[in-house]
């Protein structure tokens, strides 16, 4: 049975993208131009484009046009702390170490710092009353210059009042915020609890991650609450990962060193 007209168009465009005739990031011809090139109706061309979008080969930007998607190699993300870090942090160093093992280049934006009122999950997880002032530190994170994750950490404003003033500086804390809080306030992170959820992206997130319109790509949202040995919450961190470029894994107990960093699909 002959392939349908829209599928033939889609296959031809997909082949041109894979061969580089249409380079990654290049704009495709307009719908009208495609109708003329393939002697097809508008609906047939739209069905072909929709198929390409669903397979993440192209991305449609309203008002701008349709573009061949940049191909992003998946990145393996270790959620468990590295062996030598214990429960007291090490997430940043684990991210960098994993990138090095996978021959990738990590980077992050300067933190955007805000003081806001705690509501909902923020107040509940930090064990403060709704309306209590908290400090948020938000960063965009990249792998090989491709958007990889968004991370926002919340801390009680009371920590700043007690002397941890660098929390409100819009620069990286080189030793890590967990270590800084230990040194400055004697707060030792003894453990944390993770909550993992899957949800659709919001408009701003779709724009940052350059997700195709109606692509069906979901976001993995990791909410981590860290505690002292006495049960005091010292931070609440929300990290968002697009599922089209991230593989999340944990290591428990004795795992061979050669497998502690997952370099690709098993």
Q: How far is CA 27 from CA 21, 166, 212, 244, in A?
A: 12, 45, 14, 21
- Provide the pLDDT for residue 74: 83
- Walking along the chain (266 residues) 10 residues at a time, the average pLDDT comes out as 80 91 88 94 94 85 82 80 57 72 88 96 96 97 90 96 97 91 95 94 90 77 95 95 88 78 58
Name residue 138's beta-bridge partners. Answer: 112, 152
Contact 106, 141 (CB under 8 A): yes
Hey, how many other C-beta atoms are within 10 angstroms of the C-beta on 94?
18
What is the model's pLDDT at position 1?
35
The whole-number pLDDT of residue 85 equals 55
- pLDDT attached to residue 72: 74
What pLDDT digit, counting tens, does each position of 100-148 carry? Answer: 888 889 999 999 999 999 999 999 999 999 999 999 999 999 998 889 9
What pLDDT is attached to residue 76? 84
Domains annotated on the chain, with CATH? 5-68 (1.10.10.10), 75-259 (3.40.1410.10)
d(CA 136, CA 25): 34
Measure the CA–CA gap between 181 and 167, rounded to whole angstroms. 9
Instruction: List, in sequence order, every residue forming a beta bridge with 197; answer none if it has no partner.
Output: 221
């Amino acid at each position: 049975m002959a392939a349908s007209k829209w599928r033939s168009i889609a296959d031809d465009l997909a082949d041109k993208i894979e061969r580089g005739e249409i380079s990654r990031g290049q704009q495709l011809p307009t719908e009208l131009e495609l109708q003329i090139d393939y002697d097809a109706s508008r609906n047939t061309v739209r069905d072909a484009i929709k198929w390409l979008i669903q397979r993440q080969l192209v991305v449609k930007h309203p008002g701008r046009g349709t573009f061949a998607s940049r191909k992003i190699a998946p990145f393996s993300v270790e959620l468990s702390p590295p062996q030598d870090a214990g429960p007291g942090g090490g997430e940043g160093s684990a991210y960098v170490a994993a990138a090095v093992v996978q021959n990738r280049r990590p980077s992050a934006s300067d933190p955007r710092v805000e003081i806001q009122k705690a509501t909902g999950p923020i107040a509940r997880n930090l064990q403060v009353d709704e309306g209590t002032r908290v400090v948020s530190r938000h960063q965009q994170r990249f792998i090989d210059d491709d958007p990889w994750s968004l991370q926002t950490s919340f801390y009680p404003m009371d920590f700043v009042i007690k002397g941890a003033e660098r929390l409100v500086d819009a620069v990286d804390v080189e030793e890590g915020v967990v270590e800084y809080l230990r040194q400055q306030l004697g707060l030792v992170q003894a453990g944390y609890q993770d909550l993992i959820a899957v949800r659709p992206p919001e408009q701003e997130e779709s724009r940052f991650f350059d997700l195709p319109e109606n692509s069906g790509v979901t976001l993995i949202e990791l909410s981590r609450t860290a505690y002292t040995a006495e049960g005091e919450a010292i931070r609440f961190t929300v990290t968002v990962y697009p599922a089209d470029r991230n593989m999340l894994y944990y290591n428990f107990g004795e795992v061979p060193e050669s497998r502690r960093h997952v370099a690709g699909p098993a």
